Amino acid sequence: MKKIKLILIGFILVSISFAIFAYVKQKNNNDVQIRLADYKFRESLSLASNGFAVDYSKMNDDTKVYYYIQTSSNLYTAINIIDMTSYKDVKNRNALGEAIYNLYLCMTHDYSRKEILKDNNMSSIFNCLAKISNDPEDEEDCKRISRLAGDLYFNNNK
């Protein structure tokens, strides 16, 4: 009887050890996945900001379309992975998502894209987006982009 108790206790200890190991490994995997999503999110914003740093007036139409698609696809990527990042729980999550989404809307509609690609708008968006890609918790620049993109989208959508 004592042998069976010892075997059961040993089996329980081994099972608990494996459970703890599996939990720690899963926790580490989740942390790695969140860090990777954070990196991809920030990289997408940074690449999108580069689309606002080029001079579209000196490009042919095919090159312009290439940059439009690159910029809008990076914004789309950021929109879709924000909920997988650590930024999903920050206090300005709604402002951040709204800024990216409004900017994406402007880039994907002809009437607002023409307005957003004017030099003064592009430089403002580039500066704000560059700051946000370095610090996604920057609420002021999120609001600034969202207002500008919203104004350009809704004022030109009439």
Per the structure, the complete domain to which residue 110 belongs is given by: 2-155
Is the CB of residue 123 less than 8 Å from the CB of residue 116?
no
Is the CB of residue 73 less than 8 Å from the CB of residue 43?
no
Residue 66 corresponds to which tokens in the numbers above?
A: 């290439």
Residue 112 corresponds to which tokens in the numbers above?
A: 């607002």
Most confident among 15-29, 63-77, 141-155 (mean pLDDT): 63-77
Total domain count, the chain? 1
- Amino acid in the structure at residue 107: M
pLDDT at 14 over 70: yes
Task: Over range 32-52, report the average pLDDT.
Answer: 91
At 56 the three-state DSSP class reads: helix
Matching residue, tokens 């940059």? 67
Is the CB of residue 52 less than 8 Å from the CB of residue 29?
no
First to last CA, the chain: 85
Is the CB of residue 86 less than 8 Å from the CB of residue 33?
no
**Per-residue pLDDT tens over the stretch 73-96:** 999 999 999 999 988 877 777 888
Which pTM does this prediction carry?
0.78
